[in-house]
Chain A
């Protein structure tokens, strides 16, 4: 009996407690603002640091992925690689 007095069951909230449509609180709104400001600053820092074509394309990829996330998950295909080779063969 003494042992069971030292054990507490963790209560569970009811399923109906979930509400992702609850209006955003001041706290979450500030978190949104703060994250947005830091990311804006980071983007600016990265943009200013670009010196090479490679760095520019990395940055462009990152920004494009934000705007078009589906495109970011796709890998180069044989056909796109083939298309890259095209200019070399045209020089021959």
Chain B
């Protein structure tokens, strides 16, 4: 047990939407060769058979419209190029998949675009200042809701799509487990017009588990942050009660990426600017899934979670045993107890580590010594990240400030 682990009192998770690792952070490899990003020579064939290179041309908005396919069959195409999902993913079907959305050859190439670090200074700045995971993957090669379920329950109960009617499920959510153990936990959603994704069953049955984003800010300020918090960004452009414009901050295409940067900065500052909180809080920023956008790293296999989706449910002609992960997404762990510039090797390296969204409830269980054994095999097998907290707390001046 390190001093950083000893001091830990709060874990906060911010889960953004639909961006791949390479799209957001792949260019960082030019700054640090330990980061498993892009060389600039990665290619995918387009629908004419031409090999198209990745390019640092990602735009904040207006580029990924229509929304790239990220349902199970679409991701299957992206991973296996249209072949059967029986061998290692080739990662060469991204352009072909996006071509199907608009049948425009030139437009389909944009799925390989990535951001230069200077265009998204908050995410890349945090990645360089704290711990960047080379091997954090979506839990399922599929869409938002089944992936988010792994963060809440450690499984999606056999779902590979957007169906979320989790009734009479065998495992409690991590929030309910926390309450059962006498701990505190809260899901903060942005506002009532944005609301919460997928856990509205909990909203009905356990309203005390929920708060608004303004409550999160206030709880941070007043030292009332629960032991474990999950923060949801704003999922839609809408007006507030006074008619003010509120931009979606989830970074889901085609929402403006800088609105997400500002939101990430706001969550970070809420913790960073309270010295009582900063010294004992671990913040994880990640994305639910890749949103159909290119990543070069083939997802590895994983411990099955005991469920199976039928060939009909997957829409691919093949059943799915939840025995391999989805596409890699950005993930950054933040704490003054994490050495600057930490890079956690992933499957690209011998002995590298693999994380996924089931790592979240498993880490929370470990951090707060919860004993509930009634959990999915997948969650129990998921790697945890408390060990990133070292024995040394960095001086305040060494830790990134956002203004």
Enumerate chain A interface residues (CB-CB to B < 8 A). Answer: 3, 6-15, 17-20, 22, 25-28, 30-31, 34-35, 37-38, 41-42
| Contact, CB under 8 Å: B235 / A22 | no
Hey, which chain B residues are within 8 Å of A19, CB to CB?
Answer: 237
Enumerate chain B interface residues (CB-CB to A < 8 A). Answer: 17, 60-61, 67, 121-122, 125, 129, 143-145, 162, 164-165, 195, 197-198, 200-201, 203-204, 235-239, 245, 247, 252, 254, 256, 258-259, 261-262, 265-266, 397-403
Interface centre among A3, A10, A11, by most chain B C-beta atoms within 10 angstroms, is A10
Hey, which chain A residues are within 8 Å of B122, CB to CB?
Answer: 8, 10-11
Query: Which of chain A's residues has its CB closest to B199's CB?
Result: A34
| Contact, CB under 8 Å: A3 / B397 | yes
| Contact, CB under 8 Å: A13 / B252 | no
Q: List 16 additional contacts besides A7-B402, A27-B235, A30-B145; criterion CB under 8 Å.
A: A3-B397, A6-B129, A7-B401, A8-B121, A8-B401, A17-B256, A17-B259, A18-B245, A20-B237, A22-B237, A27-B145, A28-B236, A31-B197, A35-B195, A35-B200, A38-B203
CB < 8 Å: which of B200, B254, B256, B402 contacts A8? B402
Hey, which chain B residues are within 8 Å of A25, CB to CB?
Answer: 67, 252
Hey, which chain B residues are within 8 Å of A14, CB to CB?
Answer: 256
| Contact, CB under 8 Å: A37 / B165 | yes
| Contact, CB under 8 Å: A38 / B162 | no
| Contact, CB under 8 Å: B265 / A13 | no
Hey, which chain B residues are within 8 Å of A38, CB to CB?
Answer: 200-201, 203-204
| Contact, CB under 8 Å: B237 / A42 | no
| Contact, CB under 8 Å: B235 / A13 | no
